[in-house]
Amino acid sequence: MLNALDKQMLEKVTDLHEIPQGAFNIRKNGEGVQRNTTANIDIVTKKDKSGIDVIVKPYTKGESVHIPVIVTEENINDVVYNTFEIGEYAEVEIIAGCGIHNCGTHKSQHDGIHTFYVRKGAKVKYVEKHYGQGDGQGERILNPKTIIEAEEGSYTELELIQIKGIDRTKRDTEIRLMGNAKLVVTERLLTYQAQEAESSITVELLGEDSSAQIISRSVAQDNSKQDFYFDLVGRSKGRGHIQCDAIIMHDAQVHSTPKISAYHSEAQLVHEAAIGRIESEQLIKLMSMGFSEKEAEDTILDGFLK
């Protein structure tokens, strides 16, 4: 059974107040604790390694899958390998995410390796939220890796969000798009105190008329450090755009390395990167409306990361 803390953590990473309807798998402290399947979505425990297979039948419509992970103990080092088979012309939303509550002195860590096979004509939205809390000295560490093979005519949308409280993270995302496959990636990330975050996103446009849009927004505060690596590769006729914006505050550091590589004369690739502070005009405007300086800052940052 889930206790009050478990439910609080689930709400942070899935926006759910109760156990979800439909297909779901809840993992706690390295073990599966609750699961449900439907007629169109099956969830099977892997036999050769830790993790699950999520199988969405072809032509499934209007269903969702929740696969949250919560860690509520110190000295946990959890690694899972999850595979997602999204059948032809299926339409599904997958809500993942991990919440770590650590009040101890030893680190708690979760590494999730997710591999997606998005079949012909399928549409999938994948939402992954990360959150940490607890007043202990033990680190909260999350290292997600996402690999996506997107077949002809498919549509993949990713929302990759680090809400707060993660001391160290290394995020790797690798995506390959076949003919007329479309991809939209939205990344939002917050670091503060001495936290460190590294994000690497590589997208290959392999098929004709494939397209990718990557939007990354981050806020770095205090003494935190962020490193971003983007690699957009056009190997066929297609379009790709990278936009990376960061707000830097206090003594933080932000490094952004966007890269585009064209191997076809009709590959159209664009990258943009901007790092800067909060504009004083924005602060003054909000403060003239009655906001304190802290309230004005928080309002601007909240809007930037939405």
pLDDT of 229 > 80? The answer is: yes
pLDDT of 104 > 90? The answer is: yes
Percent share of the chain, pLDDT over 90: 86
Do the beta carbons of residue 220 and residue 247 sit within 8 Å? Answer: yes
* Residue 284: per-residue pLDDT: 87
Which tens digits make up the pLDDT trace of 176-227? 999 999 999 999 999 999 999 999 999 999 999 999 999 999 999 999 999 9
* Residue 283: per-residue pLDDT: 85
* Residue 85: per-residue pLDDT: 98
Return all residues near 177 (Cβ < 8 A) that are at least 6 apart: 150, 183, 203, 204, 205, 206, 207, 210, 211, 212, 238
Do the beta carbons of residue 269 and residue 260 sit within 8 Å? Answer: yes
pLDDT of 140 > 90? The answer is: yes
Average pLDDT value for the chain:
95
Which tens digits make up the pLDDT trace of 245-263? 999 999 999 999 989 999 9
* Residue 237: per-residue pLDDT: 98
Band (pLDDT 50/70/90 cuts) for residue 68 is very high
* Residue 28: per-residue pLDDT: 95
Q: How far apart are CA 68 and CA 298, in angstroms?
A: 28
The first and second tokens of residue 236, run together, are 């066929």
Band (pLDDT 50/70/90 cuts) for residue 281 is confident
Give the residue carrying structure tokens 């169109």: 40
* Residue 139: per-residue pLDDT: 97
pLDDT of 81 > 80? The answer is: yes
* Residue 15: per-residue pLDDT: 86
**Mean predicted confidence (pLDDT) in 276-283:** 88
* Residue 77: per-residue pLDDT: 95
pLDDT of 17 > 80? The answer is: no
**Mean predicted confidence (pLDDT) in 23-49:** 96
pLDDT of 1 > 80? The answer is: no
Band (pLDDT 50/70/90 cuts) for residue 18 is confident
The first and second tokens of residue 88, run together, are 């032809």
The mean-pLDDT minimum among 6-20, 124-138, 191-205 falls in 6-20
Return all residues near 222 (Cβ < 8 A) that are at least 6 apart: 192, 193, 194, 249, 250, 251, 252
**Mean predicted confidence (pLDDT) in 89-106:** 96
Percent share of the chain, pLDDT over 70: 100
**Mean predicted confidence (pLDDT) in 256-272:** 95
**Mean predicted confidence (pLDDT) in 96-122:** 96
pLDDT of 19 > 90? The answer is: no
Pick from 293, 163, 272, 282: nearest CA to 218: 163
Q: Tell me the one-letter amino acid at 39.
A: A
Q: How far apart are CA 69 and CA 138, in angstroms?
A: 18
| β-pair type (52-56, 41-45) | antiparallel
Give strand pairing partners of 273. 244
